Structure 1
């Protein structure tokens, strides 16, 4: 089946969902769930949470299918956007997994016990380089890139303007890059 035909089929299914057709929702689920689950799983990194989020995504699709406009864009990117946004919302809502400034051991949680020796050496190098980054920038980097915090959330957390947070993140990443590229 060609890409244009697939998109047309998905658009028809979304229209059916908008009319309240459960069979259309089931067919849409069958056609797109594996792809959407993969996207959600890459964001959440937890299969059970990703599967729960996928169900929430389809509830949202059921509720919002009437707002889909085929003239505004293809159906698959619309579905992917819903899945991605819901996964990010879920990640942000999971406050129990977030770091606090005083918490130790955050770096060890990132390590995979199946890492090879080379991966562990790279992880150790990253840990050493992170130790050289100034404290507010370091915390911002960890919260943003390991825990999924937004710039706005970081601005609230550190009581700084969003532009300051952007600068801290940029400078922190530059510092890390310089350190990691030094032999």
Structure 2
């Protein structure tokens, strides 16, 4: 059974942080409000399936807000809107209640990923960024880059392999 009073307390404790995150992603208050509203509906319906061993509660909710913000962005773009979306660094997705050790580790991980991304060819790095940071399909990436779909898929697959190898080497060192 869903507890409305508990959900109200959760909303009061987290809504400002989640709205701030959505606003940083979407840059427009009305779009951020829409994303947060959609996110809380999803949180309400998915609360029973939350698994604490997979993510901290706020991290789980930030992920839902991010996904809803991307959905709002897609809808706005489909309606002919111009929505500028900035990429969040790894700390932007971090649990805002994380301690200094966890934040330092996230910062090190983000730096390692950035260094490994720098080893990729420019267009390959761009394709991976568009696919995974802008959440575009491979077809959308191909269309925006004016390249064949097969080329984009190959670049992304090979680039991800190189990133995995680079990160594994750094971790082993």
Query: TM-score per shorter chain, which class?
Result: 0.5 to 0.7
Aligned-pair distance for 1:25? 1.2
Whose Rg is larger?
1
State the partner residue of 1:154. Answer: 141
CA deviations over 1:32-52 (Å, ceiling 9, x no partner): 111111111111111011011
Aligned-pair distance for 1:85? 1.1
> Aligned to 1:97, which of 81, 85, 92?
81
What is the aligned-residue RMSD (CA, Å)? 3.5
Report SS of the residue matched to 2:64. helix
Aligned length: 111
Aligned-pair distance for 1:69? 1.1
Change (3 A) 1:87 1:165: farther
Aligned-pair distance for 1:160? 2.2
State the partner residue of 1:65. Answer: 47
TM-score, length of structure 2 as denominator length: 0.52
Residues of 2 paired with 1:32 and 1:165: CA distance?
39
Report SS of the residue matched to 1:97. coil
Residues of 2 paired with 1:98 and 1:46: CA distance?
11
Aligned-pair distance for 1:74? 1.4
CA contact under 8 A between 1:92 and 1:149: conserved in structure 2?
no
Q: Show the 5 A alignment for 1:1-183.
A: 19-94=1-76, 95=78, 96-97=80-81, 144=130, 148=134, 150-152=136-138, 153-155=140-142, 158=146, 159-161=148-150, 162-163=152-153
Residues of 1 paired with 2:7 and 2:29: CA distance?
22
Q: Structure 2: which 5+ runs fail to align? A: 85-122, 157-173
TM-score, length of structure 1 as denominator length: 0.50
Change (3 A) 1:57 1:149: closer
